[in-house]
Amino acid sequence: MAETVELDGSVIKFEGVFDWNETYLAIVSWFRSRRFDYFETKNVKKSTTYGFELEYGAKGVREETDYIRYTIKLALHGYHMDNVEIIDKSGEKKQLVKAGYIEIKINPTIDLDWKHKWEGTEFKKKARTFVHEHMIKRKVDEWKDKIYYEAYQLQTKIKEAMNLEHKYSAYDARKKVIGK
Amino acid sequence: MPERKLLVSDLTLEYEGLFDCADLFRLIDDWFKQNGYDKNEIKHIEKVREKGKFIDYEIAPFKKVSDYAQYDIDVRVLVNNMTNADVTKNKQKLQLNKGKVTIIFNALLVTDVSERWESKPFFFFLRVLFDKFIHKRYIEQYDKGLMTDVQNLHTELKGYLNLSRHTQGS
């Protein structure tokens, strides 16, 4: 088993009207533009008495080096959703989805030694742990920081697509991790 | 568990009237980035209601000031009954928001972040002695630094909202 470190994720909760197509496209194009391999893990739509329920799960995997692999998991759950048609200011008809309640969770993780090169024996595993905790601790923190802020960039992209009020992040300009 | 000391509890800032919601959030984000804090968003809830939008936005950015101490500032922004408002100022049309904003600040000084002094009861006892007597001056400096940060952020947001109030009046 590779050493998997789960980092703090974020949650967006929204009740209102939003463009699901635009949100979906924004998510997929963001993952593709950052060279993640994109997998849909769940796509369930259930009809209920009060509209439909949508469950969508996806993950993006990127093999950064032969030692570290980044994964960002996305889980979306919408309740009491309905399709609505609106006419925007330019007179165009737009198909939107009215969400009773939608929750989006983004969780980044990092896999260290994902090729299992240091797992043959107990000694190798302990040596790997020692190296991570003492010898390259700062390096591991830098790798964690990188995927942590990339997950926030995805969150900002989703907020822009859903047209939420807070769709700006001062940390998006952070392309390289600022090490200590 | 690291030791957490609550220095600021529920410091509240309230405002009702015209303001730019996106700009307010931008100001908070920029302030934390410029002051070296790491981003940590706890929740972002937005609900469209009959009377207007309701927003509950909470962040808890942190800043490691040393390998022993860390500043945690918790900021919660509650916006009630927010609607869009078109305002004409100096012959320019501006799109602003109107509603009630409540900003709540909490600040914690976290010591022994890496939990090195908690593995044994004797180490825990040593840590308490060090913090109370030997490192007292440093802990007081950390307290002062954190209080200054919270005060600066509070003043900046207060100034921004007061400016919005004056803009509304003119």
User: CA B56: distance to chain centroid?
Assistant: 13
Mean pLDDT of A156-177: 77
Residues from chain A contacting residue B33 (CB–CB below 8 Å): 170-171
Please tell me if residue A177 touches chain B, with a CB cutoff of 8 Å: no
Kindly determine whether residue A8 and residue B25, on different chains, have CB atoms separated by under 8 Å: no
- Quote the CA–CA distance of A14 and A105 in Å, as a whole number: 12
| A89 falls within a domain | yes
Residues from chain A contacting residue B26 (CB–CB below 8 Å): 168, 170
Mark which residues 4-63 of B lie under 8 Å from A by CB: 21-22, 25-26, 29-30, 32-34, 39-41, 43-48, 53, 55, 57
Mark which residues 146-165 of A lie under 8 Å from B by CB: 149, 152, 155, 159, 164-165
User: What confidence category does residue A167 fall into, taking pLDDT thresholds of 50, 70 and 90?
Assistant: confident
Strands A10-18 and B41-48: parallel
| A178 falls within a domain | no
Please determine, for residue A176, whether its predicted confidence score (pLDDT) is greater than 50: no
Residue type (1 letter), B74? D
pLDDT digits (tens, 9 = 90+) for A132-164: 988 998 999 999 999 999 999 999 999 999 989
- Quote the CA–CA distance of A92 and A86 in Å, as a whole number: 8
User: CA A158: distance to chain centroid?
Assistant: 10
**Tokens 């609900």 correspond to what residue?**
B47
Closest residue of chain B to A98, computed from CA coordinates = B48
Residue type (1 letter), B86? D
* pTM of the complete model: 0.87
Residue type (1 letter), B90? N
Kindly determine whether residue A13 and residue B44, on different chains, have CB atoms separated by under 8 Å: yes
Please tell me if residue B67 touches chain A, with a CB cutoff of 8 Å: no
Closest residue of chain B to A7, computed from CA coordinates = B40
For the record, the structure tokens of A149 come out as: 């802020």
Kindly determine whether residue A11 and residue B44, on different chains, have CB atoms separated by under 8 Å: yes
The number of folded domains in chain A is 1
Kindly determine whether residue B39 and residue A171, on different chains, have CB atoms separated by under 8 Å: yes
Nearest residue to A11 (alpha-carbon basis) of B105, B59, B75: B59
- Quote the CA–CA distance of A42 and A75 in Å, as a whole number: 9
- Quote the CA–CA distance of A30 and A23 in Å, as a whole number: 11
Identify the domain containing residue A99 by its residue range: 3-173
Residues from chain A contacting residue B52 (CB–CB below 8 Å): none
Question: What secondary structure letter does DSSP report for A169?
Answer: -
Under the phi-then-psi rule, with left for phi > 0, alpha for psi from -120 to 50, and beta for the rest, what region is B10?
A: left
Mean pLDDT of A51-78: 94
What would the DSSP string read from start to end of B1-65?
A: --EEEEEEEEEEEEEEEEE-HHHHHHHHHHHHHHTTPBP-EEEEEEEE-SS-EEEEEEE--EEES
ipTM, 2 decimals?
A: 0.84
- Quote the CA–CA distance of A55 and A39 in Å, as a whole number: 15
pLDDT above 70 as % of chain A:
94
Neighbours of A50 (CB within 10 A): 10
- Quote the CA–CA distance of B10 and B26 in Å, as a whole number: 22
pLDDT digits (tens, 9 = 90+) for A84-103: 888 777 777 777 777 788 99
User: CA B17: distance to chain centroid?
Assistant: 21
| A180 falls within a domain | no
Nearest residue to B39 (alpha-carbon basis) of A70, A13, A72, A156: A156
Distance from CA of A165 to the nearest CA of B (A): 6
| A116 falls within a domain | yes
Residue B144's alpha-carbon distances to A139, B61, B127, B140, in angstroms, are 31, 18, 20, 6
Residue B18 near residue B88 (C-beta atoms within 8 A): no
Cα-Cα end-to-end distance for chain A: 30
| A165 falls within a domain | yes
Residue A59 near residue A134 (C-beta atoms within 8 A): no
3 state SS of A11: strand
| A179 falls within a domain | no
Task: Specify the pLDDT at position A12.
Answer: 93
Residues from chain B contacting residue A168 (CB–CB below 8 Å): 22, 25-26, 29
3 state SS of A35: coil
**Tokens 């929750």 correspond to what residue?**
A103
pLDDT digits (tens, 9 = 90+) for B95-115: 889 999 999 999 999 988 877
Ranges under pLDDT 70 in chain B: 164-170
3 state SS of B147: helix
Among B39, B40, B57, whose Cβ lies nearest the Cβ of A166?
B57
- Quote the CA–CA distance of B71 and B145 in Å, as a whole number: 9
| A32 falls within a domain | yes
Give the gyration radius of chain A's Cα atoms. 20
